[in-house]
Structure 1
Amino acid sequence: DVEEQWERMEDVVDSLLEKADICMDQAKGRDNQGSSASVVTQSTPQVTHSKVGYKVMHSSNIPRPQLTFPDRVDNSLAPFQRKIQDKPNALVPLSNGTPSAANSGDEEWDSHHQSLGIADHLVSLPHPYAYEIAQLEHPASLFTPHTPQPFLPFDKTPAQWIDTLEALKVVTRKLEGQSEIAVDLEAHDMRSYQGFTCLIQISTRKEDFLLDALVLRPHLHLLNQAFTDPSIVKVFHGATMDIEWLQRDFGVYVVNLFDTYHATKVLSFPSHSLASLLLKYANVNADKKYQLADWRIRPIPQEMLQYAQADTHYLLYIFDLLRNELLAGPSMQEEGEKKEEEEEGAEIDPTQWMRDVLKRSNNTSLRKYEKPIYDAIRGRDKGGWGKLLERWERPLDGAQMAVFKAVHAWRDQVARDEDESVRYVLPNHQLFSLAERCPVDQAGVIACCIPTPPVVRMHASDLALLIQHAESEAL
């Protein structure tokens, strides 16, 4: 199962990052017993080379950007509040009416939703551009083969760093005159419960822009003018998370999406990564070694900026080539398939594959961001105890299971309160160590968690009491 293997890989990577972050805190003398009166500044970014070839670009003492966000971080169980205030390119007005339904088709699960306080009437509002996406008439250019427009030489196309409102307005005006644009995002979620976008990369046929999403956060809603314009094709690769991040952080939505990932699926490519497309069509060996970089770093080192720029610089050229292959595809089917269709009297639609990609892309752009819930009873939420337990190789007895659930719930609540990721608060392997060993004092808790996460060190006594209580309740 691909999803399960991906989650296992995430656990390994998260564990490495957790250890690096905790060890850097300890090396800098941060004991988390209280805030220091001295001014803490970000250290010079450093690159750590892992055994598997990844480069972890990190820096200690990075200020937490979310502390300066004008929109308050809300990690509560209350529904996500849409950030969109006005609706460019609207076919119907922006509505604050009936919330969308949350019924899953599973009566037991829906009943449990209600017990958590997230029944239908409490779920977030509908997608504000659902009607526009449903009524979208794609530009005729998508259904006509084109001579691919070569990309400009990378070394002669410096990325433009955008970190002021005035510069952002210039960019948005330029985007509104394009027929297609390429977009990508870089985000951070290690030191945040829900995560946040740090950088937005946008490329036209002639220019590459890197938008500082931390500084421009309150103004990036201006991108809606171009991003919801149905005449402009927005080219992403693997847009699923990007679509949700744009909504979550800026109230930005996408109408007329072309996701090159879906094109690779329809064309039955053996690989579906952006790196494979860059190699196949642009003869570029993508350096994906900065996927573990900390995009909160400011200023961003030049090599990270080049990595980010490359993600969109070639994407419109790749789009041109994929468009031609999709339009040629139906007429190039195996002879047997063509004969079978002819016998059935069905005509071959040369736009069939393209329409399939666009339908899948529309479904992606219709995704809605929802805040993480916590399912204490069944553990079926993302990152829930039930899913985590399925990946653990050793069984837990009754008392250990009670401790596991109690500490798992404690971890989630502390992460919400402190706006940290659950894996930063307490890594999964340490969570299981606590469940299996059931320490009953502060020293025992710390002994189970080496290196000791700062939050665990602060709350070791509370954790010991929680474990004692959970264990006694189970006996």
Structure 2
Amino acid sequence: MIATAPTIYLHRGDLPADVTFHGPIAVDTEAMGLKPHRDRLCLVQISAGDNAAHLVQILPGTPSPNLARLMADPAITKLMHFARFDVAILQHTLGVTVAPVICTKIASKLVRTFTDRHGLAQLCRELLGVDLSKQQQTSDWGAPDLTPEQKVYAASDVLYLHALWARLEALLHREGRRDLAQACYDFLPARARLDLLGYEEPDIFAHRA
């Protein structure tokens, strides 16, 4: 597991054009709240699983074309935890379809049915032996200058997703649910669009009116 301090890069406004990725990337977001159609996207974190994290600070009214292209790139798989929210706010802000996507929270819910603890911190602790601090989770991500503590927290949310997915994918194969998981992942961009249209509650698939 990661033994040395990670390298953290902060980019304002967009991902630099010379920062490229060639394999699966871990992606997370920080926003002003949990309503993707209401709350502003503030930060997008990206890691290639190499103990480095790129933090892209989103500036209101400023486009992020390099980031948008990466999120929409069909050749780059995006690993996320609770991808339903991340995909929705990225699609709403960047105006692209975010795909392909893998969600470790969905994977955990499909194979770890013996527990209701599917948060990122719990999974990292139980599957990887890593303790993540969630102290900065509710801090002000819209501040113009992020604190060192915010940067470390934001980076930690993507640094372990590659290792976590490796463990969870093995469990999905073991339990015969890898194909089912993939079907869920393929649906995520459409699920996010439904959320943005207001179909969070009632769920459009629910029997009740």
TM-score by length of structure 1 reads 0.38
Deviation at 1:170, TM superposition (A): 2.1
CA distance in 2, matches of 1:153, 1:160: 19
Counterpart selection for 2:156 from 302, 305, 310: 310
CA displacement at 1:371 relative to structure 2 = 5.8
Q: Which structure 1 segments of 5+ residues have no match?
A: 1-150, 331-352, 374-379, 382-475
Tell me how far apart the structure 1 counterparts of residues 159 and 32 of structure 2 sit (CA, whole Å): 22
Is residue 13–residue 63 contact of structure 2 (8 Å, CA) maintained in 1? Answer: no
Does 1:356 pair with 2:180? yes
The one-letter code sitting in structure 2 at the alignment partner of 1:295 is W
TM-score, normalised with respect to structure 2: 0.82
Distance 1:200 1:360 in 2: 23
Correspondence 1:228-247 to 2 at 5 A: 228-247=72-91
Identity %: 24
Alpha-carbon distance, 1:189 to partner:
3.7
Match of 2:43 among 182, 199, 211: 199
Q: How does 1:33-52 map to 2 (within 5 A)?
A: none
TM-aligned CA deviation for residue 263 of structure 1 = 0.5
Deviation at 1:296, TM superposition (A): 1.2
Supply the distance in 2 between the matched residues of 1:323 and 1:189 (Cα, whole angstroms).
Answer: 30
* 2:166 counterpart (292, 304, 320): 320
1:265 corresponds, among 109, 113, 122, to 109
Matches of 2:91 and 2:27, distance apart in 1: 15
Label 1:301 to 1:256 Cα distance change in 2 as closer, same or farther (>3 A).
Answer: same
Q: Which letter maps to 1:236?
A: M
RMSD between aligned alpha carbons?
2.6
* 1:158 and 2:158 matched: no
Taking the aligned partners of 1:372 and 1:326, their CA distance within structure 2 comes to 31
Structure 1 residue 326: Cα displacement? 1.4
Distance 2:10 2:169 in 1: 30
Instruction: Report 1:50-449 matches (<5 A).
Output: 151-155=1-5, 157-163=6-12, 165=14, 168-171=16-19, 174-175=20-21, 177=22, 179-189=23-33, 194-206=38-50, 207-214=52-59, 218-269=62-113, 270=115, 271-330=117-176, 353-366=177-190, 367-368=192-193, 370=196
How many residues align? The count is 196
More strand by share: 2
Contact in 2 for aligned 1:197/1:213 (Cα 8 Å): yes
Q: Which structure's CA Rg is the greater one? A: 1
Aligned equivalents of 1:246, 1:288: Cα separation in 2 = 22
- Deviation of 1:219 after TM superposition, in Å, equals 3.1
Q: Can you give the 5+ residue segments of structure 2 that lack an aligned partner in the other structure? A: 203-209
Higher relative contact order (CA 8 A, sep 6+): 2
Distance in 1 between residues matched to 2:70 and 2:57, nearest whole Å: 18
